[in-house]
Amino acid sequence: MSIRFKLPLLVLAAFIINILLLYGYYNFYLSGEIAGYNSSMREQLQTETDRIIKEIESSQDFPQVLQIISQTENLNMQVVDESGLTVFNAGNNGGVSIEINSFGMFHHNNKVYLLKVAQPLSLKKISSYYVVWNLFVAEIFIICFILLFIAAIFYFNYVKPIIALQKSMERYKEGIHPQNVARKDEIGLLQNRFVRLTEAIEKEKQKQNLIIASISHDIKTPLTSVMGYAERLKKNNLTAERYGKYIDIIYKKSVSIRDLIEEFDEYLNLKMQSGLKQQRISAEKFCAILKSDYEEELAERGVAFSISVDCPDEILFIDIPKMRRVFGNIISNSLKHFSMREPSIAVFCSKQKNSIIFSIEDNGTGVSEEELQKMFDPFYTSDKSRSVAGLGLSISKEIVEGCNGSIWAENNETGGLSVKISLYGARYRT
């Protein structure tokens, strides 16, 4: 349960516990104390009533006696005869809130009378029962108890897990990985998100290590060749033909190093930039750009190239220059895997539900199922003699996903490779 729901429930529970404890204190303790005090008061008043009856029975004028006693002892007195009529009533009821009563019978002039004696209790007197004071003191103790209880709950349920999370963050600096927790509130979500973050960081570290190793390998290999041929050139005993050949090799190796560095720079820029510069363009117009980019170039290389568009009016929301680079990387990859005399590359653009699908199909050699899952990873290669390769397809994946799309590959019916790119149409974007 979320903390924002737990805290109001905790406050409500504390309020209910306070009421119940206060009620329990009053009902099981304080009321008994009050009842005992009242019983004692009644006993005292009854003794006083018996004394008054003795006095009035020995007196000839009981109203006068009662009047004096009422005034001197602050008592309310009422005398009722046999017929139920009140024959005497004396006392001051001002400010009376509660009174304690006692009764007695007496005889006077051969008549029987009922004497009611009441002792008024003012609010000040009531406070002497310790009602208000005891309830106040009890409430103080109850509040302190509840606060301690809430503090304990808050510490063990919220403060301690936060401290544990802080320690796990500190331990992570030392190489100790945090673990998922079962709790479902914000603290649990924060802990589990931190775990996922560390996992992502570890994966990114592994990827960075692979990239560094790959860059090192791919630079070291041509650089070793450059250095080797440069050493041969220093001997000055080469023929003009061999000299020119070595210069040409050094140049080509240098170009490959430059291309690798530029490719790596582009990969880093895609990783570090805040976003792509996306703009609207129709599927028909974008396909026309692709046709202009590659139709003539591929024709010169003997590769048949075609583009068909089934949804010309659909609007794409993409970074146009970088998406052109995506298609360039895919086409370049296809050119490396042709084994037929009549190579061909075909691009199909169609609509499926809310997405626009591009399919780049060649009639090359295709790839294995294992390669289909890994070919977009940085520096992955199917060449078992090497553990590294280029970044072209990985860059393509970064660009497509940056445009909120997806890219994957599959072998087609002709045995070649089909690379699929799925992009949301601009009208379907949220």
Cα separation of 52 and 114, whole Å? Answer: 12
Residue 244 backbone dihedrals phi, psi, to 5 degrees: -65, -35
High-pLDDT (> 70) share of the chain, %: 82
More confident residue, 231 or 11: 231
- Domain termination residue (choose one: 272, 288, 317): 272
- On whether residue 196 sits in a domain, the answer given is yes
Do 90 and 204 fall into the same domain? Answer: no
Give the DSSP H/E element, type plus range, for residue 141. helix 131-154
Angle formed at CA 276 by CA 275 and CA 281, multiple of 5 degrees? 145
Do 345 and 251 fall into the same domain? Answer: no
Residues 6+ apart with CB under 8 A from 328: 293, 294
- On whether residue 167 sits in a domain, the answer given is no
Listed residue (129, 111, 157) closest to 39, CA to CA: 129
- On whether residue 236 sits in a domain, the answer given is yes
Do 263 and 347 fall into the same domain? Answer: no
- Domain termination residue (choose one: 272, 291, 318): 272
pTM of the prediction?
A: 0.50
High-pLDDT (> 90) share of the chain, %: 11
What are residue 350's DSSP bridge partners? 357
Cα separation of 296 and 287, whole Å? Answer: 15
Counted domains in the chain: 3
Do 253 and 339 fall into the same domain? Answer: no
- On whether residue 93 sits in a domain, the answer given is yes
Do 419 and 323 fall into the same domain? Answer: yes
Do 315 and 257 fall into the same domain? Answer: no
Do 41 and 138 fall into the same domain? Answer: yes
Q: Looking at residue 29, which CATH number applies to its domain? A: 3.30.450
pLDDT at 416 over 80: yes
Cα separation of 219 and 225, whole Å? Answer: 10
- On whether residue 296 sits in a domain, the answer given is yes
Q: In angstroms, what CA-CA distances link 284 with 131, 279, 325, 356?
A: 89, 15, 18, 12
Q: Looking at residue 230, which CATH number applies to its domain? A: 1.10.287.130
Condensed to tens digits (0 to 9), the pLDDT of residues 236-280 reads: 777 888 888 888 888 888 887 887 787 777 777 766 555 578 889
Residue 278 backbone dihedrals phi, psi, to 5 degrees: -85, 145
Cα separation of 347 and 338, whole Å? Answer: 17
3-state SS, residue 315: strand
Listed residue (259, 406, 412) closest to 345, CA to CA: 412
Do 139 and 57 fall into the same domain? Answer: yes
- On whether residue 154 sits in a domain, the answer given is no
Q: Looking at residue 297, which CATH number applies to its domain? A: 3.30.565.10
pLDDT at 185 over 70: yes
The number of helices, as runs of H, and strands, as runs of E, in the chain is: 12, 11
Do 384 and 404 fall into the same domain? Answer: yes
Condensed to tens digits (0 to 9), the pLDDT of residues 85-109 reads: 888 888 765 544 456 778 888 887 7
Residue-number span of the structural domain to which 381 is assigned: 279-428
Do 118 and 12 fall into the same domain? Answer: yes
31-45 average pLDDT score? 71
Average pLDDT value over all residues in the chain: 79
pLDDT at 45 over 50: yes
41-65 average pLDDT score? 82
pLDDT at 358 over 90: yes
- On whether residue 168 sits in a domain, the answer given is no
- On whether residue 153 sits in a domain, the answer given is no
Low-confidence winner among 116-130, 191-205, 211-225 (lowest mean pLDDT)? 116-130
Do 378 and 347 fall into the same domain? Answer: yes
pLDDT at 422 over 90: yes
- Domain termination residue (choose one: 143, 178, 213): 143
Sequence letter at residue 211: I
pLDDT at 136 over 80: no
Do 135 and 190 fall into the same domain? Answer: no
